[in-house]
A and B are shown apart, each in its own frame.
Chain A
Amino acid sequence: MTKADIIEKVYLKTGFSKKESAEIVEQVFDLVKTTVAKGEKIKLAGFGNFVVKEKATRRGRNPQTGEEIEISSRRILTFKPSQVLKSAINGEGED
C-alpha cells in the first residue's frame, strides 16, 4: 500500500475530489511530521503512538574495522502500536 492507495480510500469515503483528497492526506502526514519534529508525541487511539525519544551519547564500534567511535546523542522517532493494531495483525479482531 502506498500513499496513492490511501488517497483513493479517502476519495471513495468522503466525496472530495481526487485532488482535494491528495492535498488533505498530505496535510495529515505533514501535521504529524511537524508535531513530532517539535518533540511532541502523537496518540492515535486504535492505532498507536508516535513518540520522540532522546538517545544519549554512547561508544560504538565500526563493525568492519573494529575501530571505536563515539555515537553522538540524537533524537529518534519510535512507534508503539496499540493493542487493537497488534490484535488485528494477529487475526484476533478488535478486543
Chain B
Amino acid sequence: MTKSELCEHLGEITGTLNKKEAELIVNTIFDGIRDALAAGERVEIRGFGSFSIRERDARMARNPKTGESVNIDGKKVPFFKTGKELKELVDQ
C-alpha cells in the first residue's frame, strides 16, 4: 500500500476526511517523526513501535570491482523496533 492509497483508505474509514486533509495529516505525522529523528530525538509510539538512531562506525571497505581499499565514514542510521502489540499482531 502506498502513501496515496493509505490516504484514500483513511478518508473511507473516517468518512469525513477528504483526500487533501488525509494527505496533510499523514505527511504531518511522518514528516514530524523524520524531523524529530533528524534532531537526534527518539520517537516512541505506544502500541506501534519506536524509532531511534544507531551509530555506525567508520570502516575500511573494498571496491569489489577494482579491489581498491576505501574509507567509509561513520554515519547514523534510523532504526525501528516493533512494539510488542504489533509484533504479536504480525505473527498471528
Contacts and interface: CB of A to CB of B under 8 A. Distances in A.
Interface of A: 1-3, 5-6, 9-10, 13-14, 24-25, 27-29, 31-33, 35-37, 40-48, 50, 52, 74-79, 81, 84-86, 88-91
Contacts of B10: 24, 27-28, 31
Contacts of B77: 81, 86, 89
Contacts of B53: 89
Contacts of B3: 43-45
Contacts of A33: 47-48, 86, 89
11 contacts: A1-B43, A10-B28, A24-B14, A25-B29, A27-B14, A28-B10, A32-B6, A37-B90, A47-B34, A77-B87, A77-B90
Interface in B41-92: 41-49, 53, 75-80, 82, 86-87, 89-92
A77 B86 contact: yes
A91 B33 CA distance: 15
B25 A24 contact: yes
Contact of B26 (A28, A35, A41, A75): A28
Contacts of B35: 88
Contact of A37 (B36, B75, B92): B92
